[in-house]
């Protein structure tokens, strides 16, 4: 009876002990369990792919308003983390810079157009990438090398101005001009003359009509295919079925591109051999010449495929991006003529009316630089940067991020965050006249090891081109309505509606422009 009397008490005590042990185990387990990122509800197999709509940077900004400045997505078989604040961008690109210095692997476009992930934009972080970065920083895009190509950029801007003068009426009449193709030609000629010593757009192409048309068509196709979404990148199970024929089209374009660039390399190699035999030392070396010289001493490091991949990287990163930035900048100025007038007054005061704006003048044009920074802020041509990928487990914002997670830095969202910028959708260049504050709140070129190595070239080209257009012409919109500033699809976030505007040469610039045409 006594035993029966104490049985309920024993059971209660045992239950209490078991409960305490269970709670301790759960607490310990919770301590070991990583702090998981917030994430929207997902679907089996495809994860969050169904949530993604174009333009992607806007979709991700909307998701960040619901889930916070850092959240995760399952894009098919890929884990992705999206950050949309300066502090989180700094944590990823500075504090965890090495961890996120890799690029995503198994992207079809990277594999095909980046020569099996060996170009500077797609190569994994390591000795090969570091060598390519050194090549860009020291041999190709250093201040000294950019100065050696100053004549190229000056000549191309002059040609742009002369072309506009030839196409619009003189005197007091405005003429309508379409700017997109002109600006693409400007940036493409700048890059290709530095890379290969050839221009393919506009007049004076030195009889390269057929070659030029082939190049333009090839680049159009490569840019289009590079911007095409490929389901296999996120759902590898589909790799056995090329539903759209995208992979075949990419390989076909790659073979054409490879043949074209190989022809340029062979041409320069033959030229260098002839010059060596004749004892000629050319003072103006193209970027291909520089890389072929390095190939002579390090043939494995600078193979023809590595050179072709680097040429492709220079074209992809330095042409449409520059053209798009100038087009966005001109569009913003046309929508805000009072800012255009203020920029013109600054140029008139600093440069005068007897010559064109030069690159050396741009440091003395602070308001023009504020306009360019504001253009970068509102319309960054890489709104999500190029995706990074983690090489090991890490922590971001207190959350666990696993190895081989893709990182999207939504610069477009950061640049328009009302907690970061006052009146963020307003075009207000004056906001940049004061100290910049946190450098991670303005990231048009990325940051850290994987930041764009062509920052100096881009700033020079945009500054002198935009400054010259402001200086030489009077501008106004083709109609009374405000220009459509909607983003279009593409790698460099182009305008959906290409810029058309009315312009005429400024009265006191006519003598300068006539002299320019006479010099040609």
Residue ranges for the known binding site are 452
Report the binding-site residues for heme: 452
Question: How big, in percent rounded to 5, are the helix, strand and coil portions of the chain?
Answer: 55, 10, 35
User: Which neighbouring-strand residues pair with 70?
Assistant: 83
Distances (CA, A) of 236 to 21, 42, 108, 231, 390: 45, 18, 11, 8, 20
Give the C-alpha separation, 65 to 226, whole Å: 29
Residue that is written with structure tokens 């992207």 in the block: 107
Q: Three-class SS of residue 482?
A: coil
78: buried, middle or exposed (CB in 10 Å: 19+, 13-18, 0-12)?
Answer: buried
Give the C-alpha separation, 196 to 185, whole Å: 15
Give the C-alpha separation, 435 to 418, whole Å: 18
DSSP-assigned letters across all residues of 376-394: HHHS-SSTT-SPEE-SS-E
Q: Give the tokens for residue 354.
A: 């007897």
Give the C-alpha separation, 136 to 250, whole Å: 26
Give the C-alpha separation, 451 to 324, whole Å: 19
Run of H or E including 395: strand 394-396
Question: In the Cβ-directed half-sphere of 293, how many Cα atoms lie within 13 Å?
Answer: 14
Give the C-alpha separation, 467 to 398, whole Å: 45
304-318 vs 320-335: helix crossing angle, rounded to 10: 0
Rg (CA), the chain: 28
CA 119 to the chain's CA centroid: 15
Q: Give the tokens for residue 343.
A: 């920029």
Helices (H), ranges, 204-336:
209-226, 246-278, 287-297, 304-318, 320-335
Nearest partner of 438 among 58, 64, 97, 94, judged by Cα: 94
């Amino acid at each position: 009876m006594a035993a029966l009397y104490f049985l309920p008490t024993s059971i209660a005590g045992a239950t209490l002990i078991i409960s305490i042990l269970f709670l301790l185990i759960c607490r310990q387990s919770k301590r070991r369990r990583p702090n998981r990122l917030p994430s929207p509800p997902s679907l089996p197999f495809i994860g969050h792919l169904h949530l993604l709509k174009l333009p992607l940077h806007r979709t991700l900004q909307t998701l960040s308003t619901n889930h916070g400045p850092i959240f995760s997505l399952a894009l098919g078989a890929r884990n992705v983390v999206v950050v949309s604040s300066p502090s989180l961008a700094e944590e990823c690109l500075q504090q965890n810079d090495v961890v996120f210095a890799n690029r995503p692997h198994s992207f079809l476009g990277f594999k095909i157009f980046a020569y099996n992930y060996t170009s500077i934009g797609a190569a994994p972080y390591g000795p090969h990438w570091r060598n390519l970065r050194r090549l860009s920083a020291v041999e190709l895009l250093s201040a000294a090398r950019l100065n050696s190509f100053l004549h190229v950029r000056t000549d191309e801007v002059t040609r742009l101005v002369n072309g506009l003068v030839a196409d619009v009426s003189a005197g007091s009449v405005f003429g309508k001009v379409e700017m997109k193709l002109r600006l693409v030609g400007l940036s493409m000629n700048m890059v290709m003359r530095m890379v290969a010593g050839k221009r393919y757009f506009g007049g004076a192409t030195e009889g390269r009509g057929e070659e030029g048309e082939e190049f333009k068509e090839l680049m159009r196709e490569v840019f289009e295919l590079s911007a095409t979404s490929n389901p296999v990148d996120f759902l590898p199970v589909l790799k056995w079925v090329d539903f759209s024929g995208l992979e075949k089209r990419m390989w076909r374009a790659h073979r054409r591109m490879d043949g074209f660039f190989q022809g340029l390399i062979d041409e320069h190699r033959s030229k260098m051999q002839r010059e060596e035999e004749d004892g000629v030392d050319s003072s103006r070396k193209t970027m291909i010449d520089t890389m072929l010289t390095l190939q002579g001493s390090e043939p494995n490091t600078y193979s023809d495929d590595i050179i072709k991949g680097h040429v492709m990287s220079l074209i992809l990163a330095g042409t449409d991006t520059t053209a798009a930035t100038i087009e966005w900048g001109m569009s913003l100025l046309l929508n805000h003529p009072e800012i255009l007038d203020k920029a013109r007054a600054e140029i008139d005061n600093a440069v005068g009316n007897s010559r064109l704006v030069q690159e050396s003048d741009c440091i003395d044009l602070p308001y023009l630089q504020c306009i360019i920074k504001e253009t970068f802020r509102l319309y960054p041509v890489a709104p999500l940067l190029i995706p990074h990928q983690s090489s090991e487990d890490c922590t971001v914002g207190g959350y666990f991020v696993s190895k081989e997670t893709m990182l999207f830095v939504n610069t477009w969202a950061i640049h328009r965050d009302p907690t970061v910028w006052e009146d963020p959708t307003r075009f207000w260049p004056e906001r940049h006249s004061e100290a910049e504050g946190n450098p991670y709140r303005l990231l048009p070129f990325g940051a850290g090891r994987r930041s764009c190595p062509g920052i100096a070239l881009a700033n020079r080209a945009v500054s002198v081109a935009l400054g010259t257009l402001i200086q030489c012409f009077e501008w106004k919109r083709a109609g009374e309505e405000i220009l459509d500033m909607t983003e279009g699809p593409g790698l460099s976030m182009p305008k959906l509606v290409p810029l058309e505007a009315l312009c005429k040469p400024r009265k006191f610039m006519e003598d300068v422009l006539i002299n320019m045409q006479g010099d040609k």
